[in-house]
Chain A
């Protein structure tokens, strides 16, 4: 472990901002596998079509629960891979974090428009910044 004196606070103007990460490994035909231990607060990720996935917040396992949030501030991704990823671009197609705790994301090829599945064996770290407060 890093033996450092860390500052504990990250100051923000937003009330109760939360950060979640998902750790996803892709198999053949873009099939995603969520690493539960590395994806706290993520209930599931499901492939809808080529490069298109629905992420649901919450917990999985024997007693799955969906979590909703007041707002989505930010979503991003980083590939963990030694070679260039097959689908380096990413955008949020739609989000409904308040009502259903979901958002739909799309991966595309390097041209930024062709829907493309991440290649088999690729690992993606997804990052989500959310609001867990109704306060303005």
Chain B
């Protein structure tokens, strides 16, 4: 620790100025588009998805397919295996539903602590990681591959609560658009209101040049809803941009916590 005599005061003409910090890591949302089975083509195949919420070092889940009783679990001992049972000739939608059902039922694993998964109505399954991570979804190797389509989009900001005291949430609302709400996160989920927003600073921690190096406040309603709406942009200052997966966003927020003039 820095062994210094720090000044404790920060003089200001404003009454009760407050400073808050927010720290957000951009994560991926992974979409897996299943295909149907053809004469047992999916038997013994698998795909993987990585989760980080339950285990920050990462747990890899392997979904493998048994088709009408045929197929065995591939030998990937470091993975957490989740068996998916389908019948020969199952459609893409049926396969997607079977993956969903197997994931939800896998209560002996940490899968449901690592991901939220929406009940599929088409062939696409959207895995939202609760703990971040990048390029989480990927197909099995060579002869074990499913042939499914895998996409990973950096559209899932994760608030680092220990470095974001006084911040309730940070959510993406559109391309480059994010809403920060002041307060406390779940389980208390309280919104804090302030009298005024004085200033917001934004910076990025990234090993490479950040995709969205700039940000501006589009609107703010800190006195009524505790919300600040940001637009993150490319270096030109106008093109909406979502930060790349893994980039860390830092905000410094100055507020007025007094009705005094």
Q: Contact at A10–B165, with CB atoms within 8 Å?
A: no
> In the complex where A69-B1, A112-B209, A129-B252 touch, is A10 in contact with B21 (Cβ < 8 A)?
no
Closest residue of B by beta carbon distance from A2:
B13
Given A13-B166, A67-B4, A74-B251: A7 in contact with B213 (beta carbons within 8 A): no
B170 to chain A, nearest CB (A): 15
A90 at the A/B interface (Cβ < 8 Å)? yes
Given the known inter-chain contacts A11-B257, A71-B163, A73-B23, please indicate yes or no for A95 contacting B15, CB distance below 8 A: no
- The yes or no answer to A134 lying at the interface (CB within 8 A) is yes
Q: State in angstroms the CA–CA spacing of A89 and B236 once bound together.
A: 10
CB-CB contacts of A63-103 with B at 8 A, as 1s and 0s? 00101111111111000000000000111111100000100
Chain A, residues 37-64, CB within 8 Å of chain B (1/0): the string is 0000100000000000000011000000
Verify B17–A68 contact, CB threshold 8 A.
Answer: no
Determine which of B2, B9, B16 lies in contact with A68 in the assembled complex, contact meaning CB atoms within 8 Å: B2
Chain B residues with CB under 8 Å of A5's CB are 13
8 Å CB contact of A14 from B11, B165, B203, B205? B165
Do B203 and A11 have beta carbons less than 8 Å apart? no
Known contacts A9-B16, A74-B252, A91 near B2 by CB under 8 Å = no
Kindly provide the distance from the CB of A63 to the nearest chain B CB, expressed in whole angstroms: 13
> Is B235 a contact of A112 with CB atoms below 8 Å?
yes
15 interchain pairs (CB within 8 A)?
A4-B13, A6-B12, A18-B2, A74-B251, A76-B202, A76-B252, A90-B203, A91-B204, A91-B213, A92-B203, A92-B204, A94-B205, A110-B235, A112-B234, A132-B1
Interface residues of B (CB under 8 A from A): 1-4, 6, 9-21, 23, 162-163, 165-166, 201-207, 209-210, 213-214, 234-236, 250-252, 257
